[in-house]
Chains A and B, each alone.
Chain A
Amino acid sequence: MALNQSLKGKEYEEVSFTVDRDRVTQFAEAIGEDDPIYRDAAAAKQAGFDEQVAPPTFATVLQIMTSGQAVVDPELGLDYSRVVHGEQQYEWRRPIVVDEVLKATPRIADIYAKKSNEFLVIEADIKDAKGETVVISRSTLISRGTGGQ
């Protein structure tokens, strides 16, 4: 079944997320990041940051929370068992740090078909408490075999 192209531009609910210290430490450990700025507030402060720093791809935690809304949207008609992650882009304005509150509003930036596959582009502008952009996430999911050709 093809994706519902009329959802291009649809915005989902804003997601709010507090950057938890244990979650950042867990993420750094999971990816084997052993630079102390990702593990220890004192080391991060000594290096000039306000707090313990989240590794750059910690943004993935928010990306998964936000894109999840589109993935399960019944109006979109995405069969998750057909989905593979095709592309991912992050544009970082600054590193994420522990204890800050981030907000993101995911949006379907594009839906298009190419040969037998369809492509779903989900964007989220992740902002801090002051409303300033911290990182922009752009994910392209491939729905295999629903492109109709």
Chain B
Amino acid sequence: MAPKVSFDQVTVGDEIPVHTKVVKRQDVKAYADASGDQNPLHQDDAFAQSVGFPGIIAHGMFTMAHLTSGLTAWLGDPSALKDLKVQFRAVVFMDETIEAGGRVAGLDPGSKRATLEVWVKVDRAGVSEYPIKNSQAIVQLA
């Protein structure tokens, strides 16, 4: 499998296609089982309320997994994703829609690698919150 995005097609400032996901309780439960992270903060509303949230929140890694899916869907090959460093800056509640996006921030012609600024956004009562921001990916282009 080879990277599908050609280095020559890409310009600094280009945005990658937005990857959208509605976060459902059953998805977060499935993620807890698949990842092995059984923290009750992600499964038990009473526990989440005891630490100050209105209800359970998604795992940060659940949100990062969806950002990664958006990147690999664009790249067409998981081998092309070389590095991803994220900061978790806001929580995600059930039934919210997360939108993963990214923008080309730098291009290295020698290696044909691109640095992307990446984020995950959620619209909460008309305000954009960023569960992931100030984050970067390094990807291999063809």
**Residues of A participating in the B interface, judged by any CB pair closer than 8 Å:** 23, 26-27, 29-33, 35, 37, 47-49, 53, 55-57, 60-61, 64-65, 81, 84-92, 94-95, 138
A84 contacts B88, CB within 8 Å? Answer: yes
- 5 residue pairs, one from A and one from B, having the closest CB atoms: A30-B34, A89-B85, A30-B30, A27-B34, A31-B65
**Residues of B participating in the A interface, judged by any CB pair closer than 8 Å:** 1-2, 21, 27, 30-31, 33-37, 51, 59-62, 64-66, 68-69, 72-73, 78-79, 81-88
How long is the Cα–Cα vector from A137 to B61 in the complex, in angstroms? Answer: 12
Interface of A is mostly: mixed
A-B contact count (CB 8 A): 94
Closest residue of A by beta carbon distance from B67: A57
How long is the Cα–Cα vector from A86 to B83 in the complex, in angstroms? Answer: 17
| Known interface pairs A55-B68, A87-B85, A88-B61; A95-B33 also in contact (CB < 8 Å) | no
How long is the Cα–Cα vector from A69 to B135 in the complex, in angstroms? Answer: 27
A92 contacts B81, CB within 8 Å? Answer: yes
Q: Can you report 30 A-B residue pairs in the complex whose CB atoms are below 8 A from each other?
A: A23-B34, A29-B34, A30-B31, A31-B34, A32-B27, A35-B73, A37-B78, A48-B1, A55-B68, A55-B69, A56-B72, A57-B61, A57-B64, A60-B37, A60-B65, A64-B36, A64-B37, A65-B36, A85-B88, A86-B87, A87-B85, A87-B86, A87-B87, A87-B88, A88-B60, A89-B83, A89-B86, A91-B82, A92-B83, A95-B79
B78 contacts A53, CB within 8 Å? Answer: yes
A33 contacts B35, CB within 8 Å? Answer: no
